[in-house]
Every structure is written in C-alpha cells, then in structure tokens.
C-alpha cells in the first residue's frame, strides 16, 4: 500500500504497467518438456483467483496496480481494467489518513493486517481489512502471491527461481458492516459505563470469596466510601455488623453454583459514620460469566422511603380518625382507630363485607356516595354522616369523606376518612329537642319575645306578635324597633334597655306604646336582657306583653277616682257655703 501522496508525486514517471494476464500463461519450458510433464493446459489459477470471495489486489514496486480480481473491482464499483495502472491511494476515502503502513514493512515480506477506508465510485465509504504479504527474490510457498505477480514466465507455482522485483499481494475483505457493528457496540458500552457511573444506585461486583472487586461511584454518597477504598475488602464485614456478616455470606454470597442466580432482599447497610441505611438489594450471581466473573450486588437506598412510611404509620396509628382503604376486589384495610372506636379486631371480615357494618338506613346512601365518587360526580370534600355498628350492637355516628385513589399505584383504592361524631350528634340532637321545646313554650305563651341586635334591627320575633300587632312576621323581622314606638316613650324605652342589659342589673318592667298595623296604639309592658355569648347574635332579648286593657282599666279607675274626688270636693264646697249663709 502507498505511503503518502507527496511520496507518490515525488517519484519519476513510471514505465507503462504490464497487467497480469491469464490468457496465455508462459511456463519458461520447452513445449516437449511441458508435454512430458503433463502440462497440456495451464493450471486453473485464473478460476481460483476470480472465484475467491475476497478481493485480490496486486501492485508492483512503483505502487501501481497490476491486477485486481472481479470481486475487488466490484467492491469499489469499477471494472478491473479501470483500476490497473492506478495507485491504491486513488481509491482511498477522505476518512483514511495516510500513511497506511510504513513502506519498508513490505520489503521484509511480513504479513500485516489493517483496516482501511476506501471510496466507492458513487462516493460512499467502503471499509476493508487489508492483509499484505511481500515476496522477495527467493523461492517460497506463498503460491497465491506469486501466481498473480507481474511475472510473465512461471513454470511451476512451487518452482520460483527468477523474481526480480517486489510485489505486494493485497487480500481485502469488506468489513463495512462489521465496522459499523463494532462502533455501535462501542457506543453501547460507553452508554452502559455512563449509566453506571451516574446512577444513584450502588453497583458492587463481589468475588466468590466475598471480597469487593469493584464499586460504582454511588458508594460515596450512599455509604461514605470512595470506590478505591472498598476494593479488596470483605463486603460482609465492611457494610454489616458482626451479627449479620455470617448471615449475609450464607444468604447471597454462598450460592455461587447457579449461573444467573438472582436474590432480592431488604437489608440495613452500615454507613462509614456508623449510621444505618435501609436498602433494597438485588444479587445476580454471575461468577460463571467470563465478562463479569463475580456476584453483582445492586443496592437502592430506601432509607427516606422507610422513614416516611414510619411517619405516616405513626400518624395513622395515633390518629383519632378512622382511615379505611377499600379496594375494587372487596379487600380493605382499616387504621387502629377503627378498633378503638367500634371495637372490631384488626383484620375482621364481616360476612357481608365492609358495608354490612353500616346501619341499614344508611347503607344505600354510603354505597351511592362511593359509586358517585368513582364516577367523578361527587366532590371529595363533601362529608356524609352515617352510622356504623360497634361490637356491642350499638351504632356510632361517623362523619366521613372519601377520595378515589384507585389510579394511584401505591394505593389502588378508595380512601375513606371518618371521625367519631356520636357525641356531637347526640349534643346536636339534644339541642334540637331543647330548641323545639323552648320554641313550643315561647310560641304558645302570651308574651312577645323579640331578639334585636345592637343596631335595633329585629332578628327574631315570636309568631304571636302577628295577631297582636297586625304586622306579618316577614314585615317585622329585619325592620327596626324604634319607628313603631310612640315618640313620647322612645327615650324611656332606650334607657330601660341600656340599664337592664348591664351585668347584675335588676330588671323592672316599663310600659310603652307600640304602633299597630291599623294605626292604633297598644300598651306593652317589657323587660330586657343581654343575649348569652353562645348565641350567634350580639344583641338583646325583650319580653313584652299586652297591657292595653289593664292600662285602660287603670285609666278608667283613675278617671273614676278623680270624678269622685271632684264630686266630693264640690259637695264639700257647697255645704260650706250653705253653713256660711245660715250663720
């Protein structure tokens, strides 16, 4: 093969090249001798060379092509005649950087092999593996080489006596696909190396005796060691305490006979600082694999995951709320609060499933709520009150909400959160009964009960005010009190209310006039007090009763008494006048 383009250009113009021909081979022997030896026809060297699956390329001492077989010419897209006389460098692609090999390497007849990039006639690269052999002027056994040199008189392939020049016989094999495959394989190896070097998981190769052969860089952030520090050290003694070292060896270092043995486990590895890291460990026994020759230990740090799990478990176990996860297949899980509130032991399997613990009157409501939640038509924040049966046969009120986490791979179910609302429900029921009782008491008495805020707006008034005042309840509630009070009585009424709402004040009734819907006035007697803090309204409550008739009676009595006194005084005056006249 040529050395450099400059070296080629520096040579003098060569003589015309005589191509090797198989048409009329010359043996250098007299015809009688040739016939005596039985060589009536030349040996089928041309058929042998042309029939090779490899390319054959011959060049002379001037690096000019003297012969190529059809396979070689087709490899580069030429006819054999087009390549004869040209230098091999003319057919090399731009990816090939000369020199191909030292020129004197040919001179000593040493066999060489090298990958060379040639350029196809259509411009594409063709990679080939080139093996060259050099022939000096001596007899030899390199028959193929000698057979296709630029020597015209060859008598017998095994009888080489007159070789005056050096001829290279080039055996070229198309390795384009193999080269591409090697490049792809190299890229895959580099990718694998990069993945290992940058993986957060620790990968350790351990020899059969337990000594660490190699470790990925993740050993430093995970366990505090540099890779070079762990090589050659016993993995069981380095990462585990003495109580577990023997167990580790017996667990996944001992079974080395089974090729590809895989053992997953969850273990606690000791950090350099003495702390423990919880890890998922997968062991692949590849001792018999010549590319590995060891046990591959893949370690994934799950310390934070386990800590989070413990925190959530502590929250669930300490929570006063019941947490239930209901799966599609009917399986369910309940937090310990379920046992504390309802008394059922953990893992109970009611004959009718979980919903059989729900009160019959609430079961359909609960089932519908779950179905609507899964269908997406129910708000997860919407709460529902249902009754659940306890072990003593009573029912506890539960205030519950649910969230569909069926698509969450870590849950795969409906999560129901329920709190015991029995006491609250009982208190509300008692309050409701009390309200009903007091409402009945108030509504059936003769007194009007009015609740007004500090701005004087009526917030509530008992129904008996309607027939007494002639206004409807809707007209009264939301209106102000003072406009319906007689102007002469307003100041006295306000003073009475302001005095009686003070802490510890004595309540003395006051009479005032209230406007009726028909324009007349009625007399009311009232007392006032401040509303208790548990009420939502900051104001006063006024108890009023109709004293119009009493007021009329008192006015009549006063008039009668006045008339009597006036009559008595008149009579006394007349009597005195008569006595004076008589005298």
Residues 422 and 451 reside in one and the same domain: no
Residues 294 and 396 reside in one and the same domain: no
287 domain-assigned: yes
Give the span between the Cα atoms of 156 and 558, in whole angstroms: 171
Give the span between the Cα atoms of 472 and 465, in whole angstroms: 8
Residues 15 and 123 reside in one and the same domain: yes
CB under 8 Å to 175, separation ≥6 — which residues?
115, 127, 128, 129
Residue 502 vs residue 38, higher pLDDT: 502
Q: Determine contact, residues 132/3, Cβ cutoff 8 Å.
A: no
Give the span between the Cα atoms of 82 and 79, in whole angstroms: 5
Residues 162 and 252 reside in one and the same domain: no
Mean pLDDT of 1-5: 43
Residues 47 and 19 reside in one and the same domain: yes
Tell whether the model's pLDDT for residue 407 goes beyond 50: yes
- What pLDDT, on a 0 to 100 scale, did the predictor assign at position 167? 45
Tell whether the model's pLDDT for residue 517 goes beyond 90: yes
169 domain-assigned: yes
579 domain-assigned: no
387 domain-assigned: yes
Give the span between the Cα atoms of 485 and 482, in whole angstroms: 5
461 domain-assigned: yes
Grouping H, G, I as helix, E, B as strand and the rest as coil, residue 341 is helix
- Beta strands (DSSP E) in 302-360 are 322-326, 332-334
Give the span between the Cα atoms of 392 and 338, in whole angstroms: 14
Mean pLDDT of 168-193: 68
Give the span between the Cα atoms of 295 and 208, in whole angstroms: 7
132 domain-assigned: yes
Q: Determine contact, residues 115/127, Cβ cutoff 8 Å.
A: yes
Confidence of residue 96 (pLDDT cuts 50, 70, 90): low
Q: In the listed set 180, 213, 241, which residue is the last one of a domain according to the structure?
A: 180
In DSSP terms, which residues pair with 274 in a beta bridge? none
Residues 118 and 87 reside in one and the same domain: yes
DSSP assignment of 117-170 equals EEE-TTS-EEEEEEEEEEE-SS--S-HHHHHTSS-SB-SBTTB-----S-EEEE
Sheet holding 448-453, edge to edge: 458-461, 448-453, 539-546, 521-530, 510-515
Tell whether the model's pLDDT for residue 3 goes beyond 80: no
Of the ranges 95-109, 425-439, 452-466, 557-571, the best mean pLDDT one? 452-466
Q: Which of 32-36, 75-79, 321-325, 346-350 has the lowest mean pLDDT?
A: 32-36
Query: How many angstroms separate the Cα of 528 from the Cα of each of 107, 265, 563?
Result: 131, 78, 37
User: 248 is in which domain, residue-wise?
Assistant: 199-306
Confidence of residue 341 (pLDDT cuts 50, 70, 90): confident
Which helix (H) or strand (E) segment is 451 a member of? Answer: strand 448-453
Phi-psi region of 102 (alpha: psi -120 to 50; beta: other; left: phi over 0): beta
Give the span between the Cα atoms of 121 and 72, in whole angstroms: 13
Residues 98 and 176 reside in one and the same domain: yes
Residue 23 vs residue 412, higher pLDDT: 412
Residues 449 and 413 reside in one and the same domain: no
- What pLDDT, on a 0 to 100 scale, did the predictor assign at position 160? 34
Confidence of residue 25 (pLDDT cuts 50, 70, 90): very low
Tell whether the model's pLDDT for residue 342 goes beyond 50: yes
Tell whether the model's pLDDT for residue 103 goes beyond 80: no
Residues 19 and 111 reside in one and the same domain: yes
Q: Determine contact, residues 356/350, Cβ cutoff 8 Å.
A: yes
Q: What CATH number does residue 342 fall under?
A: 3.30.450.20
Q: In the listed set 148, 180, 212, which residue is the last one of a domain according to the structure?
A: 180
pLDDT, the chain, mean: 75
Residues 48 and 151 reside in one and the same domain: yes
Tell whether the model's pLDDT for residue 441 goes beyond 80: no
Of the ranges 31-45, 106-120, 127-141, 433-447, the best mean pLDDT one? 433-447
553 domain-assigned: no
* N-term to C-term CA, the chain: 185
Give the span between the Cα atoms of 55 and 169, in whole angstroms: 10
Give the span between the Cα atoms of 201 and 217, in whole angstroms: 9
Q: What's the pTM? A: 0.41
Tell whether the model's pLDDT for residue 569 goes beyond 60: yes
Tell whether the model's pLDDT for residue 170 goes beyond 60: no
What's the burial of 142, exposed, middle or buried (CB within 10 Å: 0-12/13-18/19+)? middle
- What pLDDT, on a 0 to 100 scale, did the predictor assign at position 27? 40
Q: In the listed set 306, 336, 355, which residue is the last one of a domain according to the structure?
A: 306
Tell whether the model's pLDDT for residue 289 goes beyond 60: yes
Residues 210 and 176 reside in one and the same domain: no
Confidence of residue 318 (pLDDT cuts 50, 70, 90): confident
Q: Which of 3-7, 109-113, 128-132, 147-151 has the lowest mean pLDDT?
A: 147-151
Grouping H, G, I as helix, E, B as strand and the rest as coil, residue 524 is strand
Percent of the chain at pLDDT exceeding 70: 72
Mean pLDDT of 549-561: 83
Residue (of 416, 430, 421) closest to 385 by Cα position: 421
Residues 390 and 289 reside in one and the same domain: no
Tokens 């191909």, residue?
Answer: 100
Tally of structural domains, the chain: 4
- What pLDDT, on a 0 to 100 scale, did the predictor assign at position 226? 92
Alpha-helix runs per DSSP H in 376-460: 422-443
Give the span between the Cα atoms of 507 and 58, in whole angstroms: 135
- What pLDDT, on a 0 to 100 scale, did the predictor assign at position 464? 87
Tell whether the model's pLDDT for residue 110 goes beyond 60: no
Tell whether the model's pLDDT for residue 417 goes beyond 90: no
User: Pseudo-torsion of CA 159, 164, 165, 168, nearest 10°?
Assistant: 0
Of the ranges 29-38, 262-271, 326-335, 495-504, the best mean pLDDT one? 495-504
Structure tokens given for 446: 């003769």
- What pLDDT, on a 0 to 100 scale, did the predictor assign at position 264? 62
580 domain-assigned: no
Mean pLDDT of 437-459: 79
Q: Which of 29-33, 43-47, 260-264 has the lowest mean pLDDT?
A: 29-33
Residue 258 vs residue 344, higher pLDDT: 344
DSSP 355: G
């Amino acid at each position: 093969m040529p050395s450099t383009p400059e070296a080629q250009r520096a040579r003098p113009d060569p003589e015309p090249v005589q191509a090797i021909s198989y048409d009329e081979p010359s043996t250098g022997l007299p015809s009688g001798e040739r016939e005596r030896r039985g060589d009536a026809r030349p040996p089928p060297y041309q058929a042998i060379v042309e029939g090779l699956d490899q390319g054959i390329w011959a060049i002379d001492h001037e690096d000019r092509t003297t012969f190529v077989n059809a396979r070689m010419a087709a490899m580069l897209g030429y006819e054999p005649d087009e390549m004869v006389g040209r230098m091999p460098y003319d057919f090399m692609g731009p990816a090939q950087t000369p020199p191909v090999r030292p020129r004197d390497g040919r001179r000593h007849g040493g066999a060489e092999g090298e990958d060379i990039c040639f350029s196809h006639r259509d411009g594409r690269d063709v990679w080939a593996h080139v093996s060259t052999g050099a022939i000096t002027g001596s007899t030899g056994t390199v028959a193929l080489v000698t057979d296709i040199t630029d020597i015209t008189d060859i008598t017998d392939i095994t009888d080489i006596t007159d070789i005056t020049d050096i001829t290279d016989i080039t055996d070229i094999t198309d390795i384009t696909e193999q080269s591409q495959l090697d490049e792809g394989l190299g890229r895959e190896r580099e990718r694998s190396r990069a993945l290992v070097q940058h993986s957060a998981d620790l990968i350790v190769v351990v020899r059969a005796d337990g000594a660490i052969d190699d470790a990925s860089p993740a050993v430093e952030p995970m366990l505090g060691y540099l890779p070079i520090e762990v090589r050659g050290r016993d993995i069981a003694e380095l990462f585990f305490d003495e109580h577990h070292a023997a167990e580790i060896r017996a667990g996944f270092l001992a079974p080395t006979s089974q090729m590809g043995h895989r053992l997953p486990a969850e273990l606690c590895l000791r950090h350099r600082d003495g702390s423990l890291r919880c890890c998922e460990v997968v062991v692949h026994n590849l001792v018999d694999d010549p590319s590995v020759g060891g046990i591959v230990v893949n370690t994934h740090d799950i310390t934070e995951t386990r800590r989070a799990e413990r925190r959530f478990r502590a929250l669930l176990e300490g929570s006063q709320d019941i947490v239930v996860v209901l799966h599609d297949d009917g399986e369910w899980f309940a937090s310990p609060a379920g046992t504390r509130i309802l008394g059922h032991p953990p893992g109970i399997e009611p004959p009718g499933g979980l919903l059989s613990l729900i009160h019959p009157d609430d079961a359909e409501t609960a089932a519908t709520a779950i179905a609507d939640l899964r269908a997406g038509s129910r708000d997860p924040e919407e709460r529902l009150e249902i009754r659940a049966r306890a072990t003593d046969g009573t029912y506890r009120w539960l205030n519950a909400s649910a969230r569909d986490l069926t698509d969450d791979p870590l849950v795969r179910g409906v999560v129901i959160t329920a709190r015991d609302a029995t006491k609250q429900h009982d208190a509300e029921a008692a309050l409701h009964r009390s309200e009903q009782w007091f409402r009945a008491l108030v509504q059936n008495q003769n007194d009007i009960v009015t609740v007004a805020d500090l701005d004087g707006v009526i917030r509530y008034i008992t129904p008996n005010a309607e027939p007494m005042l002639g206004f409807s309840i809707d007209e009264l509630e939301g209106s102000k009190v003072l406009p319906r009070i007689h102007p002469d009585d307003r100041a006295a009424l306000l003073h009475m209310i302001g005095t009686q709402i003070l802490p510890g004040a004595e309540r003395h009734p006051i009479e005032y006039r209230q406007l009726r819907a028909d324009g007349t006035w009625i007399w009311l007697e009232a007392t006032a007090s401040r509303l208790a803090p548990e009420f939502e309204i900051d104001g006063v409550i006024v108890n009023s009763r109709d004293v119009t008739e009493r007021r009329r009676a008192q006015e009549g009595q006063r008039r009668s008494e006045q008339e009597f006194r006036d009559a008595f005084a008149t009579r006394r005056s007349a009597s005195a006048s008569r006595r004076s006249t008589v005298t």
